[in-house]
Amino acid sequence: MALYEYVTQDQLSGFDQYKYSAVDSNPLSVYLMHPFWDSVVKVIPSWLAPNLITFTGFMFLVFNFLMLTFYDYHFDASAEGNTHVPSCVWVTAGLFNFLAYTLDGVDGKQARRTNSSTPLGELFDHGLDSWACVFFVATVYSIFGRGASGVGVATLYYILWVVLFSFILSHWEKYNTGVLFLPWGYDISQVSISIVYIFTAMVGVETWYEPIWWNFHYRDLFTFMILGCSFTVTLPMSLYNVFKASRSNTLKHSSMYEAFLPFLSPVLLFLLASAWVIFSPSDILHQQPRVFYLMVGTAFANVTVNQLSDHFNIFAFSLKKPCTD
């Protein structure tokens, strides 16, 4: 592994040409979180590497996942009649989730503050973000679980894929427009999840058993919010940004094949994983849902990092050496 060439010399030679371009128009971020992050970054020592901040935030999510793995391995602790997760665990999960979100917002500011922004730093940040999707989805699942008043493991599997494709949409926009439009759903979801963890510690998981209205339960609201945010906010905004770039003749790729090429690998992974779920003779998803979710999330992160480096204007396009022929 030490001799493996992770980045080629051709890719390294174009680093000086790369410029990070992103747009964050979410009111929650613009008016609340960015001022908060600006205050936080001022107290961070200038010698602290941005990548270390990124990794520390990611490890908070991993710790949450491992902590809930210990207390709720099969996602059934929140079911009626079972031993529930202690309240202190939910408090810890809420604090760590918010810390992870804060550090994810601060790392880029620290990089610009110390003049240490690099394409590799962006790849490291967004690569860990792609892997983090499975950790916070699987952790928040323990609130509702798979009991009679919870969410089925198959339903959560497809919800996970909605989250993963929502992530890839933002980078698909950048691949086609050259600009990373930060999704609104991410900030809203992270703040909401942190609050829900703390609220669960205060009132207990039994609160989520009760229907909100008739037969509409909190588990249904959980599913509806994720699907609604993805299909009514994230997807339309992504399509609009690409359409706007098309109208202004600033698209990076003119053919439909090139424009949608980044979806090929994630879709193939989705089809293969889903085929395994459907045709598994041992019913793998119901037997080991946590392991299966982790496998899917890890494979997706691997695909994403390869695409970020090969397709999404980090290496192959933005960092390509100009033709001298």
Scan for tokens 């609201």, then name that residue.
221
What was the pLDDT predicted at 229?
86
Once rounded to an integer, what is the mean pLDDT over residues 5-20? 59
What was the pLDDT predicted at 26?
86
* Assigned domain for 271 exists: yes
* Assigned domain for 145 exists: yes
Once rounded to an integer, what is the mean pLDDT over residues 37-41? 96
Once rounded to an integer, what is the mean pLDDT over residues 210-226? 84
pLDDT tens digit sequence for 252-301: 877 888 888 889 999 999 999 999 999 999 999 999 999 999 999 999 99
* Assigned domain for 50 exists: yes
* Assigned domain for 192 exists: yes
For 168, residues 6+ apart whose C-beta sits below 8 A from its C-beta are: 262, 263, 266, 304, 307
Task: List the Cα angle 218/294/137 in 5-degree steps.
Answer: 25
> Confidence band (pLDDT; 50, 70, 90) for 177?
confident
* Assigned domain for 4 exists: no
| Percent share of the chain, pLDDT over 90 | 54
Least confident of 59-63, 253-257, 303-307: 253-257
Split into its structural domains, the chain has a count of 1
What was the pLDDT predicted at 132?
97
Scan for tokens 């480096």, then name that residue.
309
Once rounded to an integer, what is the mean pLDDT over residues 241-261? 84
State how far the Cα of 187 lies from the Cα of 155, in Å rounded to an integer.
23
Least confident of 42-56, 123-137, 176-190, 272-286: 176-190
Comparing 18 with 66, the larger pLDDT belongs to 66
What was the pLDDT predicted at 103?
97
* Assigned domain for 155 exists: yes
What was the pLDDT predicted at 7?
58
* Assigned domain for 282 exists: yes
Helix and strand tally (H, E) in the chain? Answer: 14, 4
Strand partners, 213: 216
State how far the Cα of 35 lies from the Cα of 57, in Å rounded to an integer.
19
* Assigned domain for 315 exists: no
Mean pLDDT of all residues belonging to the chain: 87
What was the pLDDT predicted at 25?
83
The whole domain housing 63 covers 23-32+41-309
What was the pLDDT predicted at 1?
52
Residue 61 has pLDDT above 90, yes or no: yes
pLDDT tens digit sequence for 126-170: 999 999 999 999 999 999 998 777 899 999 999 999 999 999 998
Q: Within 13 Å of residue 173, how many CA atoms lie on the same side as its CB?
A: 25
pTM listed for this prediction:
0.88
Once rounded to an integer, what is the mean pLDDT over residues 35-39? 96
158: left (phi over 0), alpha (psi -120 to 50) or beta: alpha
pLDDT tens digit sequence for 227-240: 888 888 888 988 89
